[in-house]
Amino acid sequence: MDPDPDLPTKSHHRAWDKDYHYRGKLWRGVPPEIPTLPDGMIILELGCGNGKTLSAMIRRCWDIVAVDVSPKAVQMCQMMVEMEEDRCLSRVEVMVADACALPFEDETFDAVFAFHVVGHVPQHERDDMADEIWRVLKPGGKVFFKGFGRGDMRYGKGKEVEDDTFLRNGILVHYFNKEEVLEVFVDFEVEDLRIDQWETLIRGKRLPRQVVEGTFVKVSQ
Ligand SMILES: C[S@@+](CC[C@H](N)C(=O)[O-])C[C@H]1O[C@@H](n2cnc3c(N)ncnc32)[C@H](O)[C@@H]1O
C-alpha cells in the first residue's frame, strides 16, 4: 500500500504527529515573552506546534506564517487562530512544512522564530535548518532561537542516538551548550546568547530547567 501522502515521511516527524493525535494540545500555559518588532513585519515561526508562542505573536500586527511538520498540530493551530478574539487582523497563515526544506522564496522574512524546534532534528538537519533560515531571511533579518541546555532535568532520558541527542517515544531531543548554538548559527552575527535556568518543583523535588536562548542577525558577507 502506498504511504498516506498527507503524513510526514520521517519517523521523528511522524512521532510528533502521533503525539498530537493521542494527547491533543501538548503545549499549554502562559506563552513565552516575545521580542518587540515593528508592525507590518513579515515573520516566520518554525515548529509552531499547537500555537502556544503563536498565540502571543498574533496579538502583534505582524504578517505571520507559521509552519510545523505535524498536520494535526497545524490543524490545532489554525483553530486557535480562528478562535482568538484579541488577535490583530493582519495575515496569519499556518501550514505543514519541514523547516529543513522551506517552501518560501529567498529573502522573504524580516524575522524567524525558532523556539524549541532546532533541537528536535538530527545534527545534519540542524545545519540544514540554519541554512534555510539564512536563505529565507532578508539581509539584516533576525532569528530568535531557544533550545534546551545540557543542564536540563530531562538530559539523558531516552536512548542517546547522537552526542547529547536522545530518542524517547520516537521524538528526538538535542541538548545544547552555548558553543554549539554558535556553531549552528555560524554564518550569522551574534546579537545575544545566554543561558536561562530555573528550578521546578516535581513531587517535592527541586529539579533544574535550562534553556539556551539566542538572537542572531543575517549580516551579508
Ligand atoms: C516542542 S514543540 C515547540 C512548540 C512551539 N514552538 C511553541 O513554542 O509553542 C516542537 C514542534 O516542532 C515541530 N517540528 C519538529 N521538527 C520539525 C521540522 N523539521 N520542521 C517543522 N516543525 C518541526 C514538532 O512537530 C513540534 O510541534
Centre of ligand 1 to C-alpha 28, Å, is 14
Question: What is the pLDDT, as a whole number, of residue 197?
Answer: 96
Tell whether 4 is covered by a domain. no
Tell whether 37 is covered by a domain. yes
Tell whether 2 is covered by a domain. no
Find the DSSP H helices in 106-156.
123-136
Question: What is the pLDDT, as a whole number, of residue 6?
Answer: 60
* Spans in the chain with pLDDT lower than 70: 1-8, 27, 221
Which DSSP category does 48 fall into?
-
| pLDDT digits 0-9 by tens, 43-61 | 999 999 999 999 999 999 9
Question: What is the pLDDT, as a whole number, of residue 43?
Answer: 98
Tell whether 101 is covered by a domain. yes
Tell whether 183 is covered by a domain. yes
Question: What is the pLDDT, as a whole number, of residue 2?
Answer: 55
Query: How is residue 203 written as a grid cell?
Result: 513531587
Residues contacting ligand 1 via CB (< 6 Å):
13, 16, 27, 46-49, 52-53, 67-70, 73, 98-100, 115-117, 120-121
**Number of domains present in the structure of the chain:** 1
Please report, as a single letter, which amino acid is at residue 23: R
CATH number at residue 184: 3.40.50.150
User: How many other CB atoms are found less than 10 A from the CB of residue 78?
Assistant: 16
CA distance 73 to 57: 17
Q: Note down the domain range covering 166.
A: 11-217
Could you tell me if residue 199 is left (phi over 0), alpha (psi between -120 and 50 degrees) or otherwise beta? beta
Ligand 1 atom at minimal distance to the Cα of residue 70? 25
Tell whether 5 is covered by a domain. no
Question: What is the pLDDT, as a whole number, of residue 88?
Answer: 86
The reported pTM is 0.94
